A and B are shown apart, each in its own frame.
Chain A
Amino acid sequence: QSVLTQPPSVSGAPGQRVTISCTGSSSNIGAGYDVHWYQQLPGTAPKLLIYGNSNRPSGVPDRFSGSKSGTSASLAITGLQAEDEADYYCQSYDSSLVVFGGGTKLTVL
């Protein structure tokens, strides 16, 4: 089982807003470590989507946003588009080692 817990799947219609949660504990997210998010389109390598809890790399639309509170973090996607259909992973640290969430499959209805 993953150290960070994500819902296996979420879905939404085009134009809607969806959120993906990432729940950890006091030894990882709750210890103050940053949370990063990655998007993985089918058959491709993961791509950095959000870094340092809430920052977007250059080129990532502002429809994507991240937040962190306590032992959890969230990724929000507004104005859902068909091309957002992908797997999303959160990543943080536990005892200074890298840990990933189990991943969430986003389906655009």
Chain B
Amino acid sequence: QVQLVQSGAEVKKPGSSVKVSCKASGGTFSSYAISWVRQAPGQGLEWMGGIIPIFGTANYAQKFQGRVTITTDESTSTAYMELSSLRSEDTAVYYCARSYYYGSGTLDNFDLWGRGTLVTVSS
């Protein structure tokens, strides 16, 4: 049974960067896409971007363009999300989620989720 295992909680200063990892335990994600979805306290789900490992390129939500970088290391079946220039509004739980994808690059539904990583931005 494949699981997505995320790295632990982080506390960061405003202006710094954070890098969160997501490892496919018990399998690989070479046939899937990996997206990052965040949820601020008491708020809804917000898609940040996704990557199709075999294509090697990521798509990002406009809101996060220039500030987020999503990468994968297929040798370890691990995906990473790095968010820079952190501000207090970036305090949230960050989820990785797996999906199939279409030839056009459009992602399918998210059928498997990590348990989330809490990132707290505070001075």
Contact = CB atoms under 8 A, between A and B. Distances in A.
A91 B110 contact: yes
A97 B59 contact: yes
Interface in A2-54: 2, 33-34, 36, 38, 40, 44-48, 51-52
Given A40-B45, A44-B115, A98-B61, 20 more contacts: A45-B95, A46-B45, A46-B110, A48-B109, A48-B110, A51-B111, A57-B111, A89-B44, A91-B45, A93-B107, A96-B59, A96-B104, A97-B47, A97-B59, A98-B47, A98-B50, A98-B107, A100-B45, A102-B44, A103-B45
A38 B113 CA distance: 11
A106 interface: no
B116 interface: yes
Contacts of A38: 45, 110
Contacts of A99: 47
Interface of A: 2, 33-34, 36, 38, 40, 44-48, 51-52, 57, 87, 89, 91, 93, 96-103
Contacts of B95: 45-46
B27 interface: no
B74 interface: no
Contacts of B59: 96-97
B83 to A, nearest CB: 17
A48 B50 CA distance: 18
Pick the 9 closest A-B CB pairs, nearest first: A103-B44, A98-B47, A36-B109, A51-B109, A45-B113, A100-B45, A96-B106, A102-B44, A48-B111
Interface in B86-107: 95, 97, 104-107
B10 interface: no
